[in-house]
């Protein structure tokens, strides 16, 4: 990219040194590395407007990036067929702009880190009810662009339910101002919903108005050991019958995932002494007596083998540390085939049993590494290679194993991407398995809003 082209932008936001670009070229797991001509660091919406208009003039592909914690390559720059590529990092636009405790609204820049949003909301006597393991790095813009879920979807929904309004720069450089925090507005298309989950292919999200929740006045956390996912669902039904809408989280963890996490994180300890094939982590916004009653009923019914209830915030945090460090433990163990899938909640036990049987029959020695949000049917159904497998296993047999799993998901009318997005990793599979009418409509929207194809090129569409 010529110096004359770059000189059209404010020099304060332009970086071309290889050392500056390097941290932005590789994904979080270190498995995918791209290339880019320049790193751009806008300070404001106006900077983004200038960048987008500049990109349109020169045919530069723009790859928006937040905390770079994605798992499907959505933030990794791919060489554009039509010209150079720029990484557009929103990290400078990280202000918590305002908090309205009465209206339960927080406005933040797209580069605001999730953990900082949590802290700001808590200081105002509220909470932002979306949490995930990458909360210390993930940014609000990235969470919006992937329609992130996390561990509290069961009660509060995904980002679609938590975004009241947003501001974005469209591919022609115009600013879509839907930052209003109105909870009722039927004045035409709800365009913010187009941008949520679009992975930066339709515009650059710059500011977001988030829906907060009242602070929890009562919290109880528990851990149960079980024999199978069907028993876990039976326990969830008991919880809902007794605790209603106060069930905040219900996380399933297979024993392989727990054992590997404890192996790589020796400071962590299992909440239960005995061995169990499956575990669930439970959090309620209700008195502990309800959780005690439900767990006891589950034990008496033979659905729960053992259980523990946190007696302090420290114990509750210890349980959550296990769940939140599972992805890091998996990363330390080496490569894996990551799958972020969803099926109807009632189908989870049958799907899981069939997936284990098919996988181990077709690829002996492979190890399912399963954990996730059982309460909403979303499991991280990852696959570890057989012990001693060749380094090429992941790219050859591993990808075939992924297709096998995706075919089974299609048979169960599920989704190959519950919350991580499509990026480049799943683009070909979306084309293979996606509904043709839906894909045609997506391409029509993309062509109408971004005719030059400069917004996050090579993502979503294979």
Report the distance separating Cα 343 and Cα 329, nearest Å. Answer: 25
Question: Which residues have a Cβ under 8 Å from the Cβ of 196 and sit 6 or more positions away?
Answer: 144, 145, 147, 159, 160, 163, 166
Domain-terminating residue out of 168, 191, 215: 215
Q: Do 44 and 153 belong together in one domain?
A: yes
Q: Do 262 and 376 belong together in one domain?
A: no
CATH number of the structural domain spanning residue 390: 3.30.70.2740
Cα angle for residues 79, 85, 86 (degrees, 5° grid): 140
Domain-terminating residue out of 332, 347, 379: 332
* H or E element at residue 14: strand 14-15
State the residue range of the domain holding 399: 334-418
Q: Is 452 contained in some domain?
A: no
Q: Is 7 contained in some domain?
A: yes
CATH number of the structural domain spanning residue 246: 3.30.70.2190
Domain-terminating residue out of 152, 181, 215: 215
Q: Do 295 and 344 belong together in one domain?
A: no
Q: Do 195 and 99 belong together in one domain?
A: yes
For residue 461, how far is the Cα from the chain centroid?
Answer: 19
Whether 204 and 169 have beta carbons less than 8 Å apart is answered as yes
Name the pairing type of β-strands 96-100 and 163-169: unpaired
Q: Do 327 and 246 belong together in one domain?
A: yes
pLDDT digit string (tens) for the chain, length 462 residues: 889 999 999 999 999 999 999 999 998 877 788 999 999 999 999 999 999 999 999 999 999 999 998 888 899 998 766 689 999 999 999 999 999 999 999 999 999 999 999 999 999 999 999 998 889 999 999 999 999 998 999 899 999 999 999 999 999 999 999 998 778 888 889 999 999 999 999 999 999 999 999 999 999 999 999 999 999 999 999 999 999 999 999 999 999 999 999 999 999 999 999 999 999 999 999 999 999 999 999 999 999 999 999 999 999 999 999 999 998 898 888 878 999 999 999 999 999 999 999 999 999 999 899 999 999 999 999 999 998 888 889 888 888 999 999 999 999 999 999 988 899 889 999 999 999 999 999 999 999 999 999 999 999 986
Q: Do 24 and 107 belong together in one domain?
A: yes
Q: Residue 23, Cβ neighbours under 10 Å: how many?
A: 10
């Amino acid at each position: 990219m010529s110096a004359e082209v770059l000189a059209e932008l404010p020099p304060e936001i332009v970086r071309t040194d290889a050392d500056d670009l390097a941290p932005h070229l590789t994904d979080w797991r270190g498995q995918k590395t791209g290339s880019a001509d320049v790193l751009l660091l806008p300070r404001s919406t106006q900077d983004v407007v200038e960048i987008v208009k500049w990109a349109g003039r020169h045919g530069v592909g723009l790859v928006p990036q937040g905390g770079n914690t994605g798992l499907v390559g959505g933030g990794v720059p791919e060489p554009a067929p039509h010209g150079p590529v720029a990484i557009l990092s929103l990290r400078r636009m990280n202000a918590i702009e305002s908090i309205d405790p009465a209206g339960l609204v927080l406005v933040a820049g797209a580069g605001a880190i999730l953990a900082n949003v949590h802290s700001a909301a808590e200081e105002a006597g509220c909470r932002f009810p979306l949490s995930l393991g990458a909360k210390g790095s993930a940014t609000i813009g990235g969470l919006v662009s992937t329609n992130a879920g996390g561990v509290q979807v069961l009660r509060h929904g995904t980002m679609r339910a938590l975004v009241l309004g947003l501001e974005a720069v469209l591919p022609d450089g115009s600013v879509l101002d839907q930052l209003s925090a109105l909870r009722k507005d039927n004045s035409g298309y709800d365009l913010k919903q187009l941008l949520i989950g679009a992975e930066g292919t339709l515009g650059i999200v710059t500011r977001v108005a988030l829906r907060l929740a009242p602070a929890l006045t009562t919290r109880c956390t528990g851990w149960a050991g079980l024999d199978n996912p069907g028993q876990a669902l039976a326990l969830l039904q008991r919880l809902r019958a007794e605790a209603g809408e106060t069930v905040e989280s219900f996380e399933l963890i297979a024993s392989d995932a727990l054992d590997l996490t404890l192996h790589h994180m020796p400071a962590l300890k299992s909440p239960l002494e005995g061995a169990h094939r499956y575990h669930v982590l439970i959090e309620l916004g209700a008195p502990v007596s309800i959780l005690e009653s439900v767990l006891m009923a589950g034990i008496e019914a033979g659905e729960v083998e053992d259980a523990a209830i946190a007696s302090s915030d420290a114990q509750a945090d210890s349980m959550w540390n296990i769940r939140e460090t599972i992805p890091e433990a998996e990363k330390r163990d080496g490569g894996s085939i990551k799958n972020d899938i969803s099926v109807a909640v009632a189908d989870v036990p049958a799907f899981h049993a069939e997936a284990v049987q098919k996988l181990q029959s077709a690829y002996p020695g492979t190890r399912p590494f399963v954990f996730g949000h059982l309460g909403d049917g979303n499991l991280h159904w990852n696959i570890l290679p057989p012990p001693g497998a060749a380094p090429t296993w992941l790219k050859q047999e591993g990808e075939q194993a992924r297709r096998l799993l995706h075919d089974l998901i299609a048979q169960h009318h599920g989704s190959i991407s519950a919350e991580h997005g499509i990026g480049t990793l799943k683009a070909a599979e979306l084309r293979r398995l996606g509904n043709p009418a839906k894909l045609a409509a997506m391409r029509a929207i993309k062509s109408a809003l971004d005719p030059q194809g400069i917004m996050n090129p090579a993502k979503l569409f294979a």
